[in-house]
Amino acid sequence: MSFDHSGRVALITGAGSGIGRATALRLASEGAAVAVVDIRLDAAEETVAAIAAGGGTGVAFDADVRDRSEVESARDGAVNAFGHVDYLVNNAGLVRMSPLDELAEDEWDLVLDTNLKGTYLVTQALAPVIARAGRGAIVNLATIESEVVVASTGHPQVHYNASKGGVKMLTKALAVELAGRNIRVNAVEPGAIATSFIPGGDLRSPEAWESMKDRLLVPRVGEPEDVAAAISFLLSDDASYITGAMLPVDGGWLTR
Amino acid sequence: MRLEGKVAIVSGGGTGIGAAAARRFAREGAKVVVTGRRAEPLERVAAEIGGRAVAGDTADAHHLAEAVQVAREAFGGLDVVVANAGLGFGGAVADVDDERWERTLGVNVTGAFRLVRAALPSLLERGKGSIVLVSSTSGLVGGPEGAAYQTSKTAMIGLARSIAVDYGPKGIRANALCPGWVVTPMGDRSMEGLMVRLGVSLEEAYRLATRYIPLRRPATADEMAACCLFLASDESSMVTGTTLVADGGGLAVDVAELGWAEESP
């Protein structure tokens, strides 16, 4: 255990897989009770089972972050289960790839509504609850693609870049507005992280490493646990003077 | 214990952020060598944490080599370097004489460069290491009458990036920490102008200087030490070549320096 989150309650969206799941497991191992929210209840329940297997506390909720009433139900469920909420991790997100000429309006809406509007909706639902706890912290999931267009993949994704650029500025604006309620708001910016999030392949494969090694300044691709560690730090009291900040967890991708 | 078995050098380790980092690192299991100009505070910190004190001028290459030597001989190697030693003189370009300019750049930039250069062979021997350069939000945004200081703190960010690119593939990470206002002896000195001009207490001067910052207060040295710890530890093993901004939200708003600027002559 690195950071002490005993007595704290975290609500994490998209916690049924990838970075959200790793964050849920990590915070639970550091003493937090976790409201595991995912659009798929079975995935959320699997994460809760893994938390329980490690001796931690979690409860599963299904919610689509695009849907205010589902978000509010999950929030109310978390408050009923744990009495309060101190931390929020806005992790739910998705990526789609389409060149501009073929990008359907529905797909634009899906990406923007999930990644950007979802972050707004969940934060709006949770901020008053976190404020009631006296103090708290929020971490949003931005990405290196909040800063640069990673064109080398050949996968055009104007909607994804726009949504994650939006998350960056939303993070800063929320940090300014919520400081008065003693809530810090920061974002992590993952780079190449080996999760099923990125279509088209296993980043741990030798072929993927071959194509990536010259872009990275560390000798491996990132794991969900690397991002979970940064999120745990930003939520913890060790980061009590950090708000409105972007923390790349990218193996130096943005350095050059 | 997040630095169990690690050896660290912290420059400017006698007071302020450096002393807080040395203490925190020791609590997390590290063996720490503190360096700085004045022997007395260094020795006090070293005695308290079971570390070693090496007094000398950060602009003096021999002193830095000695610090690395002490880390190797007393603790068997080196894993973490916190280049924290720094100083600041006020003044717009026209007000800064050569001596102050060179002293500022000499300690803040050349001192950090030489410390890292002296430490690199030992870090490379381990195959893994973390370097934390204590820069400032002054390295990222402008402010009134701090030409030499701002230049030096900006340069430290460039230095961190350069180290990250060149030595990352060899296992060395480098990041810059960018604090805003921190309550330290150096911060106290920065408040003197405000205190005299407005006839206010030190505490009130800090309050005025940070009143537009979202968190509405300066940082403590311990809070910055916690950031150094994150960057030094394996918790941040995918974090390199970046700046960790720890400023109470000051850079997220466009009025971060307003409180300070308003009170400046």
Quick one: residue A83, left, alpha or beta (phi over 0 = left, psi -120 to 50 = alpha)? left
pLDDT, greater one: B193 or A184: A184
Say what the pLDDT of residue B261 is: 53
Which among B240, B246, B253 has CB closest to A242?
B246
What does the mean pLDDT of chain B come to?
A: 94
- Give the pLDDT mean for B213-237: 97
Q: State the CB neighbour count (10 A cutoff) for residue B216.
A: 13
DSSP class of B211: T
Could you identify the residue written with the tokens 């901004």? Answer: B245
Q: Is the pLDDT of residue B262 over 60?
A: no
Rounded to 5 degrees, what angle do the CA atoms B168, B170, B174 make? 35
Q: Which of A91-105, A141-155, A164-178, B86-100 has the lowest mean pLDDT?
A: A141-155
List of residues 6+ apart from A222 with CB closer than 8 A: A190, A191, A192, A193, A194, A249, A250, A251, B238
Question: What is the tens place of the pLDDT at every residue in B71-119?
Answer: 999 999 999 999 999 999 999 999 999 999 999 999 999 999 999 999 9
Q: Is the pLDDT of residue B46 over 70?
A: yes
CB contact, 8 Å: B216 with chain A? Answer: yes
DSSP class of B79: -
For every residue of A224-241, DSSP letters joined together read HHHHHHHHHHHHSGGGTT
Could you identify the residue written with the tokens 């030499």? Answer: B148
Q: Which tokens hold the place of B84? A: 């924290």
Say what the pLDDT of residue B60 is: 81
Q: How far apart are CA B151 and CA B140, in angstroms?
A: 10
- Give the pLDDT mean for A135-163: 91
pLDDT band at A150 (very low <50, low <70, confident <90, very high): confident
pLDDT band at A2 (very low <50, low <70, confident <90, very high): confident
Give the gap in angstroms from C-alpha A97 to the nearest C-alpha of chain B.
26
Q: State the CB neighbour count (10 A cutoff) for residue A222.
A: 24
Residue closest to A159 by CA, chosen among A66, A94, A67, A83: A94
For every residue of chain A, DSSP letters joined together read --S--TT-EEEEETTTSHHHHHHHHHHHHTT-EEEEEESSHHHHHHHHHHHHHTT-EEEEEE--TT-HHHHHHHHHHHHHHHS---EEEE---------GGG--HHHHHHHHIIIIIHHHHHHHHHHHHHHHTS-EEEEEE--GGGTS--GGG----HHHHHHHHHHHHHHHHHHHHHGGGTEEEEEEEE-SB-STTSTT--TTSHHHHHHHTTT-SSSS-B-HHHHHHHHHHHHSGGGTT--S-EEEESTTGGG-
Q: Cβ–Cβ of B239/A239 closer than 8 Å?
A: no
Say what the pLDDT of residue B265 is: 39
The number of angstroms, rounded, from the C-alpha of B239 to the middle of its chain's C-alpha atoms is 18
Q: What is the value of ipTM here, to two decimals? A: 0.96
Q: What is the pTM of this model?
A: 0.96
Q: Is the pLDDT of residue A87 over 50?
A: yes
Which among A238, A243, A251 has CB closest to B238?
A251
In 3-state terms chain B splits into helix, strand, coil percentages (rounded to 5) of 55, 15, 30
Q: Specify the DSSP element, H or E, that contains B52.
A: strand B52-55
Q: Cβ–Cβ of A218/B240 closer than 8 Å?
A: yes
pLDDT band at A210 (very low <50, low <70, confident <90, very high): confident
List of chain B residues whose C-beta atoms are within 8 Å of the C-beta of residue A242:
227, 244-247
- Give the pLDDT mean for B115-139: 97
Question: What is the tens place of the pLDDT at every residue in A97-130?
Answer: 999 999 999 999 999 999 999 999 999 999 999 9
pLDDT band at A56 (very low <50, low <70, confident <90, very high): very high
Give the gap in angstroms from C-alpha A214 to the nearest C-alpha of chain B.
9
pLDDT band at B204 (very low <50, low <70, confident <90, very high): very high
Residue B179, SS3 per DSSP: strand
- Give the pLDDT mean for A208-230: 91
Bridge partners (DSSP) of residue A57 are A33
- Give the pLDDT mean for A16-31: 98
Say what the pLDDT of residue B255 is: 66
Q: Is the pLDDT of residue B264 over 80?
A: no
Q: Is the pLDDT of residue A194 over 90?
A: no
Question: Which segments of B109-218 does DSSP mark as H helices, in order?
Answer: 111-126, 147-167, 185-198, 202-209
Burial class (CB in 10 A: 0-12, 13-18, 19+), B199: exposed
List of chain B residues whose C-beta atoms are within 8 Å of the C-beta of residue A19:
none
Q: Is the pLDDT of residue A214 over 80?
A: yes
Q: State the CB neighbour count (10 A cutoff) for residue B144.
A: 15
Q: Which of A156-160, B20-24, B243-247 has the lowest mean pLDDT?
A: A156-160
